[in-house]
Amino acid sequence: MEGIMDHLAHERSKAQFSVEEMKVIWAGSLHAFQVSDRIARLVASDPGFRKDNRAVLSRKELFKSALRKAAYVWKRINELALSEEEASWLRFYVDELAYAYVHWGMFVPAIKGSATEEQQQKWLPLANKMQIIGTYAQTELGHGSNVRGLETTATFDPETDEFIIHSPTLTSSKWWPGGLGKVATHAVVYARLITDGQEYGVHGFLVQIRSLDDHFPLPGVTVGDIGMKFGSGAFNSIDNGVVRFDRVRIPRNQMLMKVSRVTRQGKYVESNVPKQLLYGAMVYVRQIIVADASIALSRAVCIATRYSAVRRQFGPPHKDQNGNGVETQVIDYKTQQSRLFPLLASAYAFRFVGEWLKWLYTDLIQKLEANDFSTLPEAHACTAGLKSLTTSAAADGIEECRKLCGGHGYLSSSGLPELYAAFVPACTYEGDNIVLLLQVSRFLMKTISQLQTGKKPIGTTAYMEHVEHLIQCHCKVQKAEDWLNPSVILEAFEARAIRLSVACAENLTKFATPLQGFSELSPDLVEAAVAHCQLIVVSKFIEKLQQNIEGIGVKQQLETLCNIYCFNLIHKHLGDFLSTGSISPKQASLASDQLRSLYSKLRPNVIALVDAFNYTDHFLGSVLGRYDGNVYPKLYEEAWKDPLNDSVVPDGYHEYIQPVLKQQLQNARL
């Protein structure tokens, strides 16, 4: 092909590093790259996984299409005898939200994490073979973040050896569980356990929702879909549901009893399995969400970067490699670079902190199983904060990428509107982002208070041990090049984080009660939590650079991305850095100078850096982000596929347009 495709080929020829090695680093390992690449190509080549028509389907058509694909995925998994890892990649690259997303992502992990060995032996084979389809029913119409406020009850009846699951109010209706509306046969339902007249808090119960014979709801169960959601496509392919229980009875042994149980006599008994193990599931889900944030942002950045290299507007005409007069590539404008390149750097930063969180989760589980709970509070705060930080940044970044693509970014065929609509709920589910940051701030305040008792901070708060130095130190930067020293960057971020936290801790003492203080200072506490979480991302990116990184020029590109990520944060949060005295105005100016020079340094490599994500055109689902750069012919082609273009004269012309043109509205049937 010629023209634009050759233009992107020319862009790729500028790369100053090994793209294949960077693909391995992005994937996490050579094995992960090989498996994911093979499955991605398998999906892209299978017409059964077509998704380019999603935007024009009605809700019912979209839902049915998702059902077909979910069944087809399961068929292919069994036909190809795929491993659990391969099956997971297959579901990922199919890129269609359906009931299986919740079944495998939440229902099965809930059974693994909360059920006894005996219960797992009964239920997991059924779930793993999809002989039952499950969902995770925690959120209610009236309560989301406040789990302790859930109203659904599970009352033990000793006469029948059953629990009675009941929704006592309208607001106790379970609301939002994916797959619940029309598909799920079973649900892990979270309810207030009541036995012998006493309440024991919220526990999980395995409740059958629908008949396995005719799929009708069981007696006492009122269940349905909650309706259309934001955007076209996206979460509208999945049946987020509502369910109310009218004294539904389940056997006692369908309470998930790993950490506590109710005896036949109705006595509540805690097992010797520590309750803290349940937090492991929460850490697991949140580290998955951080990984999802890096993927969603990288998809948007890939689209915006390729299109910015294709699009030309204004500028002094100059000759291209073929000698033709052309306008300036949009990607060469500094305003475009200053908005786009930090997002590219963020995608890599979030990828690496996500890798570290996988290690953190594994380490945490090993400690919990050995009855070592010392790192749990820090791990919980860390994953909560990073879930909040990365999903907020990714959601904002996807929208920024849409705007970076100009008017064409608003087209469904750009892939960006649906990508945004599909990802933005992550800012709310599994913990509202602001609520999570407030949880982080409470942990930080507790950690600071414990410094006075001599308790040593651990993990991501270890820097607080040096509180005296960090409160008093002065940034050593004297010239722009000094900012390229990782230890200088790290100290600036540590100083900012500790000073914001200490200031909050000191201000809290001025209030009559801690509750009043936390309420009044909540915006400041959120800022302190953000500073702490950004420090974690920065430190993990720097740690990544200290590893043995192979490949020509790969480490240099990662160093550039790391510095762009750090200096852009300094630029965005300059008020924090200056008000805390972490850096001076002159040093801030030098950081900005360095940032501008880094944009120029990165520019020749940006197409190759997004190629390293190794996304197929099928997975990207974007005309603007096509690998071959053949954007304009494909945009034109896509336009004619719209159902409105099925006829030259539109439906409704004779009824509504002609009467207007002919001045005959008085005779029209309106």
Residue numbers annotated as active site = 430
Q: At what angle do helices 522-545 and 554-572 cross, to 10 degrees?
A: 170
| Joined tokens for residue 128 | 């793993």
Q: What is the 3-state secondary structure (H, E, C) of 438-502?
A: HHHHHHHHHHHHHHCCCCCCCHHHHHHHHHHHHHHCCCCCCCHHHHHCHHHHHHHHHHHHHHHHH
Q: How many CB atoms lie under 10 A from the CB of residue 306?
A: 27
The residue assigned the tokens 């475009």 is 336
Q: How many helices (H) and strands (E) does the chain have?
A: 24, 13
CA angle, residues 310, 4, 605, in degrees to nearest 5: 55
What is the rounded distance in angstroms from the CA atom of residue 417 to the CA atom of residue 409?
8
Q: Give dist(CA 538, CA 139) in Å, integer.
A: 34
CA separation for the pair 581, 395 (Å, rounded): 31
The burial of 571, by beta-carbon neighbours within 10 Å (0-12 exposed, 13-18 middle, 19 or more buried), is given as middle
Cβ atoms of 448 and 454 closer than 8 Å: no
Helix (H, G, I), strand (E, B) or coil at 174: strand
> Which tokens hold the place of 179?
């797959």
Structure tokens belonging to residue 494 = 């540590």
Strand partners, 147: none
**Helices (DSSP H) in 215-373: which residue ranges?**
277-310, 334-369
Q: Which residues contact 327 (CB under 8 A, 6 or more apart)?
A: 312, 313, 314, 315, 317
Indicate the SS3 state at residue 1.
coil
Residue 323, CA distances (Å) to 2, 6, 14, 98, 320 in order: 14, 13, 18, 50, 5
Distance of CA 573 to the CA centre of its chain: 23
- What is the CB neighbour count within 10 angstroms for residue 205? 21
Query: Please, what's the largest Cα pairwise distance for the chain?
Result: 89
Only one residue has tokens 């979030």, namely: 350
How far apart (Å, rounded) are the C-alpha atoms in residues 73 and 58? 22
Question: CA distances (Å), 52 to each of 55, 157, 233, 321, 407, in order?
Answer: 8, 53, 11, 34, 20
Listed residue (76, 138, 70) closest to 104, CA to CA: 70
Return phi, psi of residue 408, to 5°: -65, -25
What's the rounded Cα separation, in Å, for the pair 272 and 262?
14
Distance CA 580, CA 649 (A): 66
Pick from 163, 10, 7, 16: nearest CA to 556: 16
The answer to whether the beta carbons of residues 607 and 15 sit under 8 Å apart is yes
Q: Measure the CA–CA gap between 572 and 578, rounded to whole angstroms.
A: 12
Kindly state the helix (H) or strand (E) to which residue 591 belongs, with its residue range.
helix 585-602
Cα distance between residue 14 and residue 22, in whole Å: 15
Q: Count CB-CB contacts under 10 A for residue 666.
A: 6
